[in-house]
Amino acid sequence: MKIINKAKIFIKKVVNEIETNRKLMEKLNHKLLCKMYYAFQDTENLYFVVEYFSGGDLRYLISRRNNFEEKETKFIISCIALIINYLHENNVIHRDIKPEKFIFGKDGYLHLTDLILAKECKKEETVISPSGTPGYMAPEAIINQPHNFCVDYFALGIILYELSKGERPYQGNNRKEIKDNMFKFEINLNKDDIPSDWDINVADLINGLLKRKKKYRLGTKGFDEVKNHPWFNDIQWEKIENCEFISPFKIEEGDHFDKEYAKKQDDDSIYEGNKQLYIDKINESLVYKNFYFNYEDKNKNNENKNNENEK
């Protein structure tokens, strides 16, 4: 169960983003997307009851591994690419694709956990609003220019680069440093830049996903551009999408829980002594009046619609 304090989201100005996340979690349904079962609230908090995955997130795995085998990397990237495609097919740009957003289930599959910064957008439209995490943001997004679906494929390229080379391509201590490095040079890997036992096609895939100009970026014309790349020639896309392929990851139970993090208490200093004031304001706004959700009710409604259609 995720518990989100109403005062905190009011201060951080992410009220609309939390509401969008709830609406999209209700609307979307995919095996590689974390399922929401219930959403409810009280005067102080919002609550999401979601599917539980016990394998730790991809960032945690990266922090514990010096390197990844090519078959492991290919599986990870395939899972992420499939969920990106599903979102795009439903006119949703995620805008914050990064390792922390993906959690392993006990079957070794990756699952996307939230859609906090996601935007619904028609294929021909663009979005102009701050979004994402600097190390994974596309050039057009990091300078607050109009951006579209291919920002998610740029982030996919960053993750692929990170898994194959052990670091992100654009380094920096803050957003400005990362942005400056991004515009100093464009990634152009060759066979000497990748592990010697890897397929050379991975360098071409990374270069294509990390094109600075979005019109040249792999994925701009859709998922098939990525799916049909030679590096994926041996990928069984349908089996992975249906979670029928045997994952190369064996997840050990009980090895992914940070007890120290769980002990952390909320920092009341951010409320400046006015926590109740913020809670009152957000409750008075009624922005979350339709926040409640019950997965069982959704299933019943779908069954009723199907019965009516059959009649």
Question: Can you give the residue range of the structural domain that contains 261?
Answer: 2-53+257-310
pLDDT digits (tens, 9 = 90+) for 128-182: 776 789 999 999 999 988 889 999 999 999 999 999 999 999 999 999 999 999 9
CATH number at residue 139: 1.10.510.10
Weakest mean pLDDT among 38-42, 212-216, 221-225, 257-261: 257-261
Mark whether 162 and 261 lie in a shared domain.
Answer: no
Residue 9 near residue 15 (C-beta atoms within 8 A): yes
Residue that has been written with the tokens 């990362």 in this structure: 178
β-pair type (45-50, 110-112): unpaired
Alpha-carbon 152 to chain mean position = 9
CB 126 within 8 A of CB 46: no
pLDDT confidence bin for 311, thresholds 50/70/90: low
Residues 96 and 116 in one domain: yes
Domain end: 198, 215, 241, which one?
Answer: 241
**Quick count: other Cβ atoms within 10 Å of Cβ 53?**
20
Please tell me the distance from the alpha carbon of residue 169 to that of residue 210, in angstroms, as a whole number: 10
Calpha distance 80→215 (Å, rounded): 22
290 lies in a domain? yes
As a whole number of Å, the CA-based R_g of the chain is: 21
Out of 214, 241, 268, pick the residue that ends a domain: 241
Q: What mean pLDDT is predicted for residues 51-77?
A: 92
| Whether residues 151 and 226 fall in one domain | yes
Q: What is the pLDDT of residue 302?
A: 64
Residue 247, in any domain of the structure = no
Sign, Cα dihedral of 65, 71, 76, 80: positive
Phi, psi of 119 (to 5 degrees): -135, 135
Known catalytic residues? 96
201, 122: one domain: yes
Q: Which one is predicted more confidently, 270 or 209?
A: 209
Asked, for residue 248, whether it belongs to a domain, the answer is: no
> Could you give the percent of the chain with pLDDT greater than 70?
93
Q: Which domain CATH number covers 293? A: 3.30.200.20
Q: How confident is the model at residue 304 (pLDDT cuts 50, 70, 90)?
A: low
226 in any annotated domain: yes
Residues 206 and 154 in one domain: yes
What is the Cα–Cα distance from 253 to 256, expressed in whole angstroms? Answer: 8
> Tokens at residue 70, please?
């090519």
Shared domain check, 129 and 38: no
Give the distance, in angstroms, between the CA of residue 7 and the centroid of all CA atoms in the same chain: 25
Copy the structure tokens of residue 103. 């959690």
In a domain, 6, yes or no: yes
Residues 113 and 20 in one domain: no
Number of helices (H) and strands (E) in the chain: give both, helices first. Answer: 13, 8
Token duo for residue 150? 């291919």
Residues 47 and 183 in one domain: no
- 249 domain-assigned: no
Q: Within a domain: residue 232?
A: yes
Q: Which of 241, 270, 289 corresponds to the end of one domain?
A: 241
Greater model confidence, 195 or 127: 195
23, 159: one domain: no
13 and 100 belong to one structural domain: no
Total Cβ atoms within 10 A of residue 175: 15
User: pLDDT band at 273, cuts 50/70/90?
Assistant: confident
CA distances from 143 to 83, 192, 199, 219 (A): 26, 32, 34, 20
Q: Does residue 251 belong to any structural domain of this protein? A: no
Q: Are residues 224 and 77 in the same domain?
A: yes
Q: Are residues 69 and 18 in the same domain?
A: no
First to last CA, the chain: 39
- Residue 168's pLDDT is 94
Task: Render pLDDT for 72-125 as a digit per residue (tens, 0 to 9).
Answer: 999 999 999 999 999 999 999 999 999 999 999 999 999 999 999 999 988 777
Counted domains in the chain: 2
Query: Does an H or E element contain 89, and which?
Result: helix 70-89
Q: For residue 271, name the pLDDT band (cuts at 50, 70, 90).
A: confident
Q: What band does 64 get if pLDDT is binned at 50, 70 and 90?
A: confident
